[in-house]
Amino acid sequence: MLGAVLVARAARLRSHQLPVTPVPAVALDAEALAQRLAGGLRFPTVSNQDGANRDEVAFEGMQRDLEEQFPRVHAAMAREHVGGLSLLYTWAGSDPGLAPVLLLAHQDVVPVEPGTESSWEHAPFSGDIADGFVWGRGALDDKLNLFGQLEAAESLLGSGLRPRRTLLFAFGHDEELGGPEGASKIAALLAQRGVRPLLVLDEGGSILQGIVPGVNAPVAAVGISEKGYLSVELTAEGPGGHSSTPPAETAIGMLAVAVHALERTPLAARLDGASRMLLEDGVGPEARFPYRIVFANLWLFRPAVEGALARIPAASATIRTTTALTIFNAGLKDNVIPSKARAVANFRILPGDSVESVLAHVARTVNDPRIQLRALPKQREPSALSRTDGEGWDLLARSIREVHPDTIVAPYLMLAGTDSRHFRNFTDAVYRFMPLRLTLEDTRRIHGTNERVSVEDYADLVRSYRRFLENAAS
């Protein structure tokens, strides 16, 4: 009887994919696109820790390069500097009654880890084009989206498009620091002007294949929520002195026990929210049997699915608040016992958990009054779920599938943070997605060594943005 119920529920699953008519591929000069992106990668627009030693000349040089490379954009759109180095472009529509669409990207990149420079096949800021790829820091995060959006707009301006709906492009300069001077101030400016976007589109998910068992088609993973962020400092103090007469317990020993307890006591896994929607509503109706039965009956199979996901670090991060020990400092000399030891644990907070609940978990797990706990200032709560129906979602999903008709558009949980969080009070349609085909190996290059993007895939990204803007403009 149970088996019949499970099969019947699986059979009743209906696809949530919008039916579309694929659009012909727009002819683009992929090599010229790559050359312009490569030029942007040569500017070391790095956000160092806490914004120290920012090379403003590099940012200003890249912005002059944008003026030269996209003359139609700079002739037709109003451009404003916000917060010093951030940019806001307005492509005014003919119908002010239509809610605008807001696209985000960021100019800054993370630094290259010292000592890894020789591991790069092409220098991090060379902007080399070789072996079918554009190489350099920012090729994936996030200059390809900035240049890709402007390429799409430049192309449409050349075709004579005059939008009915206003299109806004916001390019922050400090996203890698949380956007305090960039996206935050752009959001404040737009709020002051009473702007209420139909949707906000930022970096995030991409088009991936082989990420869900039982699903052969590529999945366009659209982030509808993102995890929160919290770092907790743990400090232990004890008697220092000469190593020849050690005390029974040192500051290092006390702190080691505490961080070991944190690492061995993860927060509970929970398959819900965007991660559950990915399986139930996104890929479930498209999965082959027997996986379709599992996804259609998570009320029964959820513990087994959670167990399977928990065994894979990348998948585990989608169903729990993660704990990462990132800093451990103590001692100056091998024969001196330090009187103080310090560690930092970083938590990426699953929606449904909170900064307060994670702090309570840390205190409960450490359970040692000798360990001082302090939440570091840079923290944020998880974001609310964006809607997966309505005009904004349909606009994005239709645009993706018109260019990539073989894809399954599905919601998912964004594990990292983006500038989009500054705009989540503007609309319930905040999405995190870049229309780029990536492999799992490619995703490991983000913030890593040998960052690169395929020349042909970048051209497809521009085509996708072009179609999105065409649809949004009407």
Residue 285 identity: P
CA atoms within 13 A on the CB side of 305: 24
Pairing of strands 78-82, 86-91: antiparallel
Rounded Cα distance between 385 and 224, Å, is 6
Rounded Cα distance between 96 and 165, Å, is 7
For this structure, is 306 an active site residue? no
**Would you list the DSSP string of 231-294?**
EEEEEEE---EETTS--SS-HHHHHHHHHHHHHHSPPPP---HHHHHIIIIIIGGGPPTTHHHH
Q: Which of 381, 105, 392, 106 is nearest to 226 (CA)?
A: 381
Q: Which of 302, 324, 303 is nearest to 313 (CA)?
A: 324
Burial of 210 (0-12, 13-18, 19+ CB in 10 A): exposed
Q: Which one from 151, 154, 175, 353 is the annotated catalytic residue? A: 175
In which element (H, E) is residue 148 found?
Answer: helix 143-158
Diameter over CA atoms, the chain: 82
**Chain position carrying tokens 């896994």:** 269
Rounded Cα distance between 202 and 420, Å, is 6
For this structure, is 108 an active site residue? yes
Instruction: Name the token pair of 199.
Output: 């949707």
Residues 267/394, Cβ–Cβ less than 8 Å: no
220-255 exposure pattern, b = at least 16 Cβ within 10 A, e = fewer: bbbbbbbbbbbbbebbbbbeeeeeeeeeeebbbebb
3-state secondary structure (DSSP) of residue 134? strand
Residues 350/227, Cβ–Cβ less than 8 Å: yes
Rounded Cα distance between 404 and 437, Å, is 10
Residues 183/84, Cβ–Cβ less than 8 Å: no
Signed CA dihedral, 112, 118, 119, 123: sign only: positive
Q: Which of 109, 344, 391, 80 is nearest to 229 (CA)?
A: 344
Q: Which of 258, 254, 262 is nearest to 361 (CA)?
A: 262
Kindly list the catalytic residues.
Answer: 108, 175
